[in-house]
Structure 1
Amino acid sequence: MNFFERQRQVKRLSARLVLLFVLAVVALVAAVCLAVVVAINLVGGTVDNLPGLLIFTAIATVVVIGLASLFRTVGLRGGGGKVALELGGVLVPEDTTDLQLRRLRNVVEEIALASGVPVPEVYVLEDERAINAFAAGWSTADAAVAVTRGALDRLNRDELQGVIAHEFSHVVNGDMRLNIKLIGLLFGILFLAVIGRTFVNAGIIGGRSRDSKDGGNPLPLIGLALIAAGFLGVLAGRIIKASVSRQREYLADASAVQFTRQTAGIAGALKKIGGLEGGSKLISPKTEEVGHLLFGSGQGFSSLFATHPPLVKRIQVLEPDFNPAELQALTERWRESPPSGMAEDVALGLAGAPAQPLPHPDATVSVGPGEVSSQVGAPGDEAYRRAESILGQIPPEILARARRGDTVTPLVYGLLLSEQPDVRAKQVAILAAKHGTGIADAAVGEAVEVWGLHPLLRLPIAQLSFPVLRMHPVPRKQELIETINELIMADGRVDVFEYCFSRLLHRDLYESVYDNPPWPERKRNLATARDSIAMLLAILASVGTPDPAAAQRAFAAGVAGIAPRLDVGYAPPAQGVLALEQVWPDLDGLSPRDKSVLVEAMVAVIGSDGTMTNAEFELLRTICSMIHCPVPALTENGDRDHV
């Protein structure tokens, strides 16, 4: 199942979730109304207008459930870090020097660069000694990945990679947005039990504090009925979570294998869950609420209510010859001497692997439209190796400054300073006027170092700095974006790198604050988005070649692939890449199927001459990222089969 099919599946699951939620609410409303009737009969009371009372009860129940769900959902705004903090998570600093935490962050950064999504926040659940992990968030820009202390202690690097890659599958494919919606919706269903306990307590206290001659107080009975309805809600919640979660875990396991190019990692992690005493069970009282987010089952429910497939079946999908008896042997071996992940790294030679050389800046790749489309959201062996190479060849001192809040801003500015003295003088004057000579001088120092690096390292350095920039208060984020725009326009034009840099940063910072893209949601198809598609393809054609005739042929190749019936002409806008600002709402509003067609059309334009340069591919990745279709890293000729 490719990325676009997963996206369609997530949309279907979202519709199923809403339907199941509505059915659960209807069942709870009926149960509460029945409880009111029973309570009135038990206390010997009469009601002049019973239908009116039941209508009021039904409306009140729906309102309570709705408000509780809304309250919980709003409380989760601000990103996946909220969920991690509620479970006792501790944020892992970007510049950590702890060996275990550094290993964790390196793994997360490698997979983020390979898959083409922003680096998420990283948390450790320090009080949890079992092996588990989860990803949460509303978008890739505010995502968080959390692992337990047990996972850090017990898993070697390959196994940790497998677990993190599994969670990245949920990030890339949109599962986590569905999962966090599920938390909010189910909270409303479970809230009835809280109301029930309040009624019981109020009824008991009220009954003791006054001399009732009416023969009975219905509040405790109604409260008990609401508690029973609350337990019915728990049951409904578990069924809903199980119905939308199990198959996705198999798919995430398969994606993890694709991310990390081997099955031993994730299979080894699952075996350690099955062989160690603590398994994957968490001690947090929030486990019931977040069970569907976890890598392994956080609680021991029956198969009817389990949010995860049976552990042995998950292992056997990865290793068909696996014998369940092996888990018992591992349990006996590890009872006396539990495994140490860091020690296994040393024994297996998993630490300190040399970086692979990056391709020449002018290298090209030979690609076909279907090849890129099939890789969206599905980085493979080559992309992962490229990410390792990038991290391995960024100088450690630059990486350290990209990960620190007090040094990241001059570095980001330095990435944009021109090597042309007259343009650079204007840019330095802008920095000095806005931030003082200290920041301006520091940015110049950063620029001198960056100029000596491989061009393919510049955008990844910027992307690695984004998690630190997200921590800035909103006014500083706005100031940063404004300054970057002024630096870019100092020479009166915008090149491909500058546009990619500024666009990705703005989108990332905006979504980290507001949980949604910087434009209103619009439902579009290929026909209604015709003008935006034509503008996009024209821009790509004009950027790819200075020859107008060749650009027109490239444009025609893209149009022929997407919709010949649209009958649009080649008309590149005078603003160049800046005109892309007009197309994002329409293109992001396309269905997954239409986005797949659009990606193939873009590749047809850029690769009309049979090859694609690094600069062209980075622009393609930026465009795809803006419409939430992450494309893995570019690999040079010889690294993969060509279509």
Structure 2
Amino acid sequence: MNFFERQDQVRKVSARLVFLFVIAVVGIIVVIDAAAFFLLGLYEQGVGNAINALIWITLLVLLVIVGTSFFRMLSLRNGGGGKVARSLGGVYVPEDTMDPQLRRLRNVVEEIAIASGTPVPELYVLPHEQGINAFAAGWSPADAAVAVTRGTLERLNRDELQGVIAHEFSHVVNGDMRLNIRLMGVLFGILALAVVGRIALYAGRGRNGLPIVVIGLFAIIAGYIGLFCGRLIKAAVSRQREYLADASAVQFTRQTEGIAGALKKIGGLDAGSRLRSGKADDVSHMLFGEGMRFSSLFATHPPLPKRIQQLDPSFDPDELQALRQRWSSRPPNGMAEDAALGLTEDGMAAPSGATREAPAAPPPPTPSERAPDAVPPTPQRVPVNPEGVVAGIGDPSSGSYEQGQQLLRRIPAELRDRARRVDTVVQLVYGLLIASDDEARQHQQAALTSRYGEAFADAVAAEAATLRGLDPELRLPLAELAFSALRRRDPRELNQVMTTVGELVRADGRVDVFEYCLSTLLHTELYEVLHHRPPWGERRQRLGDKTTAHAVARLFALFARIGSDDPAAGQAAYDAGMGRVLPGASIPFAVPREGLIALDAGWALLDGVHGQEKARLVEGLVLVISHDGVMTVAELELLRTVCALLHAPLPPIATAARPTGPVSGQP
């Protein structure tokens, strides 16, 4: 099952959830109406009066259940994943933290985010929870949050922590978070009826209040019957997804010992995976392990021994008892286990595949060690397999994880540090966009001075000088790393950042590939953080629609032009892509005069395509790029940007053994 099939499956589960919700609501209304009919004596009121009364009662029940469900989902959606984490006592982990445990956690999250092609999520720790647990929450990857317990930090070694975080990223990538938010809203709405029932019990005290008291009692009973059904739904929806997330984590990290070790520690420690928070039930379906004790009927996770055996077939459940005895007096210490393995957390993980005892390779020279006018290396060509690229979307492998680690290690440490600091991240992002052309740079300097003052503009100029020697392949990963700190700035300032980025890009009257990629990604991700929806909204489209077909043609034509200056080669690449996606269309090859800006009008159409049609769209796009068998760095940047805008996260494409070649043309 590939990424697009999993997305379809999540949509089907969401539709099934709505259907089951409707059934539960209808059942509750029938119970309440029947109680009202007999207890209020409506059968003595005449048919017309009885029907009118039942209609009003039905509308009131619907208002309570549907209204509270809707507003709960809206509240959770607008608060982002961080709201869920904070409601359980979560404390934000700063991007520039120097605490060894928190630094290790941040490093793991950043590595997996880069490797999976998703924004770095907000990161929280539940400091009062000693059980080993974690969860991912949010409406989309742009506003996602990952939270871990104090027990997770203290008890797990780095491999085990990687397994847990990779498990949670599987939920982020596959769209499980949105389904979880809907589940929370549905259950809250059903339970709200029981709250109304309690209010009715209180209001009905005194003379002649018996009918109201009885109706309140029935509302409570109906609400808890609905909650019973809701928990069954939650358990049924959650269990299978946990197996899939475990399997994804193993594929991602290329080892079963990590996640299996974390599960064994849950089974071998007294605290297990339990949460003490009174709101644990609200999030039980999105946790890494069971947060509460449930009967097998309501369990949101498969039995722990079965999860371990799926990962380690040789595992004997009796081993958990031996672990309990061993750890009862001396619980495991994750940092100590790392030290015993020779793994020190100096800001980055040891290279994958290297022995833990071997010294790390020396870091690349810092920008200050390069000549001030150093020129970035000539963009190189990367051999590409179209089927492999498409198969990797939303499905990162161990190679993706290694590539993500390598990309982060290649970014100079001082740049990583400034990208993680809230007070320097804006200057760094602007510095990435400062032009090498003197005239354009003067326009940019003037724009920054008018908005921020001369001192700030000078700081951006100094940042740009430092960034000039950065390998072009590292620019977007650096920007992705900076996104986490950037969104911590004041929302009003983020709107100004988006406006200023547009001015910097337009300063020289043209937009190159990197400028378009960075500005479009930045605008889209910040917009989703602020508004919790894409800038173009959400609507369903089909590839065969006329306007969508022309949007595809513009996209393919621009990609064909970027890949080759030869018109004949461009035409051949364009035809290959169109033949895959729209074989019956007769739209001529024509590069838009506006260049890359012409793509803006098509994102609402292309992102609205779902399922296998979107898979075919990406396949066609890769065919266009790889028609000559290779991709340039510019093409890689644009491909990753397009996939991000289509909400189809693309992991890094391995470039270790790439041959060099000339730069392709720009539109």
Q: Tell me if both proteins adopt one fold, taking TM over 0.5 as the criterion.
A: yes
Task: String of CA shifts for 1:49-86, please: whole Å, max 9, x gaps.
Answer: 33332222222111111111122122211310010111
Which aligned pairs between 1:283-302 and structure 2 lie closer than 5 A? Answer: 283-302=276-295
* Cα distance in structure 2, aligned partners of 1:481 and 1:4: 31
2:123 aligns to what SS in structure 1? Answer: strand
Deviation at 1:396, TM superposition (A): 2.4
Tell me if structure 2 keeps the 8 A contact 1:361–1:456: no
Q: Is residue 458 of structure 1 aligned with residue 475 of structure 2?
A: yes
Which aligned pairs between 1:8-407 and structure 2 lie closer than 5 A? Answer: 8-40=8-40, 47-48=45-46, 49-76=49-76, 77-204=78-205, 207=206, 212=207, 217-352=210-345, 353-354=350-351, 362-407=379-424
Tell me if structure 1 keeps the 8 A contact 2:155–2:334: yes
Tell me if structure 2 keeps the 8 A contact 1:524–1:586: yes
Deviation at 1:603, TM superposition (A): 0.7
* Cα distance in structure 2, aligned partners of 1:485 and 1:185: 41
Task: String of CA shifts for 1:170-215, please: whole Å, max 9, x gaps.
Answer: 11111101111211122110101111111112223xx1xxxx3x5x
Tell me if structure 2 keeps the 8 A contact 1:369–1:599: no
Deviation at 1:306, TM superposition (A): 1.3
Deviation at 1:219, TM superposition (A): 2.1
Match of 2:368 in 1: none
Tell me if structure 2 keeps the 8 A contact 1:157–1:341: yes
Match of 2:2 in 1: 2
Task: String of CA shifts for 1:573-624, please: whole Å, max 9, x gaps.
Answer: 0111111101101100111211110111011100000111222111101001
Task: String of CA shifts for 1:92-124, please: whole Å, max 9, x gaps.
Answer: 111111111111111111111011111110001
Task: String of CA shifts for 1:10-66, please: whole Å, max 9, x gaps.
Answer: 11011101001101111111121233245447xx99545333322222221111111
Task: String of CA shifts for 1:443-502, please: whole Å, max 9, x gaps.
Answer: 111111111222222111111111222122332112111111111111111111111100
- Shift of the 347–637 alpha-carbon distance from structure 1 to 2, 3 Å rule, reads closer
CA RMSD of aligned residues (A): 1.9
Deviation at 1:361, TM superposition (A): 5.6
Deviation at 1:349, TM superposition (A): 2.9
1:306 aligns to what SS in structure 2? Answer: coil
* Cα distance in structure 2, aligned partners of 1:128 and 1:187: 24
* Cα distance in structure 2, aligned partners of 1:335 and 1:363: 56
Where do 5+ consecutive residues of structure 2 fail to align?
Answer: 352-359, 365-375, 659-667
- Which of 453, 460, 472 is the equivalent residue of 1:436? 453
* Cα distance in structure 1, aligned partners of 2:655 and 2:427: 32
* Cα distance in structure 2, aligned partners of 1:361 and 1:167: 38
Match of 2:593 in 1: 574
* Cα distance in structure 1, aligned partners of 2:200 and 2:284: 29
Match of 2:655 in 1: 636
Q: State, as a whole percentage, how many aligned pairs show the same letter.
A: 56
Tell me if structure 1 keeps the 8 A contact 2:132–2:272: yes
Aligned pair count reads 629
The residue type equivalent to 2:383 in the other structure is S
- Shift of the 361–30 alpha-carbon distance from structure 1 to 2, 3 Å rule, reads farther
Q: Is residue 535 of structure 1 aligned with residue 568 of structure 2?
A: no
Deviation at 1:135, TM superposition (A): 0.5
* Cα distance in structure 2, aligned partners of 1:279 and 1:32: 41
Tell me if structure 2 keeps the 8 A contact 1:172–1:377: yes
Tell me if structure 1 keeps the 8 A contact 2:472–2:633: no
* Cα distance in structure 1, aligned partners of 2:96 and 2:45: 68
The residue type equivalent to 1:377 in the other structure is G
Deviation at 1:226, TM superposition (A): 1.4
1:564 aligns to what SS in structure 2? Answer: coil
* Cα distance in structure 2, aligned partners of 1:471 and 1:63: 37
* Cα distance in structure 1, aligned partners of 2:335 and 2:429: 34
Tell me if structure 2 keeps the 8 A contact 1:40–1:46: no
Tell me if structure 2 keeps the 8 A contact 1:364–1:637: no
- Which of 585, 590, 613 is the equivalent residue of 1:594? 613
Match of 2:634 in 1: 615
* Cα distance in structure 2, aligned partners of 1:247 and 1:463: 32
Q: Is residue 422 of structure 1 aligned with residue 439 of structure 2?
A: yes
Tell me if structure 2 keeps the 8 A contact 1:412–1:462: yes
1:80 aligns to what SS in structure 2? Answer: helix
Task: String of CA shifts for 1:214-247, please: whole Å, max 9, x gaps.
Answer: 5x62222222211111211220110111121111
* Cα distance in structure 2, aligned partners of 1:152 and 1:269: 11
2:300 aligns to what SS in structure 1? Answer: coil
* Cα distance in structure 2, aligned partners of 1:163 and 1:39: 53
Where do 5+ consecutive residues of structure 1 fail to align?
Answer: none
- Shift of the 536–123 alpha-carbon distance from structure 1 to 2, 3 Å rule, reads same
Tell me if structure 1 keeps the 8 A contact 2:580–2:620: yes
Tell me if structure 1 keeps the 8 A contact 2:134–2:164: yes
